[in-house]
């Protein structure tokens, strides 16, 4: 697949180099070049979706990190736009990964290093494309949302039927979820979907979200406190955001 890209850098020479590298790479298409993050933000929010943003960090008015955080909170699709930071300062590496940057290029970088980051982006979007449901798969999965005892979940190249009573708990990992099951507790199922989306499909009388990263099966609780839940040998924290709802549930047992 061809990835749509933009380059953002307030240094003309650095901007020109990144643009030249993009145009040199067969699977990349240059969709825009911007000398400020403010201009780039306007283009991203008003124009067609962009797959990859090659983004400098230190810029006036709006930094690259600030732009990345804005994009993360925007309404664009979770898989639509990914960031590759380009900067002369390696102390920003940790901040870059905190905003879920796909990669980090330290200036001055050569074409080989650029191509490595671009290839990582292509691998990411290839994976997204392979794991997104086809119309036929969506049609097949739709009835499962109405099912009383199971759902179908897209796992790699197939739809897997998962019984509600087999689920122990579900862990959210950015764009993915891991479903832990009683039948195979050491082999969680990995699916490209959001925890929120899955939460909406699960019956509320059987499952509860207790943390931004965890949904638990209520029937699998083996022990609990006001701050944590134990399922088998696994202890799952209950975050402040969900303590009131969880407290109402456990109140019947206290």
Distance between CA atoms of residues 244 and 171, nearest Å:
21
Residues β-bridged to residue 54: 7, 84
Give percent of the chain with pLDDT exceeding 70.
83
Distance between CA atoms of residues 50 and 30, nearest Å:
10
How many CB atoms neighbour CB 221 within 10 A? Answer: 19
Enter the tokens of residue 170.
């579900």
Higher pLDDT, 117 or 146: 117
The pLDDT of residue 56 is above 60 = yes
Higher pLDDT, 100 or 48: 48
Q: Which among 49, 52, 59, 62 has a CA at the least distance from the CA of 25?
A: 52
Residue 217 has, within 13 A of its CA and on its CB side, a CA count of 18
Give percent of the chain with pLDDT exceeding 90.
43
Average pLDDT over residues 207-216: 93
| Burial class of 38 by CB neighbour count within 10 A (0 to 12, 13 to 18, 19+) | middle
pTM of full prediction above 0.75:
no
């Amino acid at each position: 697949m061809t990835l749509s890209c933009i380059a953002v850098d307030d240094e003309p020479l650095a901007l020109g180099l990144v643009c030249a590298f993009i145009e040199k790479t067969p699977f990349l298409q240059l969709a825009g070049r911007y000398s400020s993050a403010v201009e780039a933000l306007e283009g991203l929010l008003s124009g067609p979706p962009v797959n990859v943003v090659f983004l400098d960090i230190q810029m006036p008015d709006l930094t690259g990190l600030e732009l990345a955080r804005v994009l993360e909170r925007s309404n664009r699709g979770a898989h639509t736009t990914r960031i590759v930071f380009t900067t002369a300062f390696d102390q920003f590496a940790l901040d870059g990964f905190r905003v879920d940057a796909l990669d980090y290029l330290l200036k001055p970088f050569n074409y080989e290093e650029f191509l490595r980051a671009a290839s990582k982006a292509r691998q990411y979007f290839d994976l997204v494309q392979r794991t997104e449901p086809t119309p036929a798969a969506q049609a097949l999965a739709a009835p499962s949302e109405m099912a009383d005892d199971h759902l179908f979940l897209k796992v790699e190249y197939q739809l897997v039927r998962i019984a509600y009573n087999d689920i122990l708990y579900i862990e959210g990992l950015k764009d993915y979820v891991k479903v832990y099951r009683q039948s195979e507790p050491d082999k969680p199922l990995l699916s490209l979907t959001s925890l929120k989306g899955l939460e909406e499909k699960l019956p509320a009388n059987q499952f509860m979200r207790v943390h931004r990263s965890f949904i638990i099966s209520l029937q699998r609780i083996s022990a609990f406190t006001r701050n944590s839940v134990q399922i088998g040998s696994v202890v799952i924290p209950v975050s402040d955001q969900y303590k009131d709802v969880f407290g109402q549930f456990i109140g019947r047992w206290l």
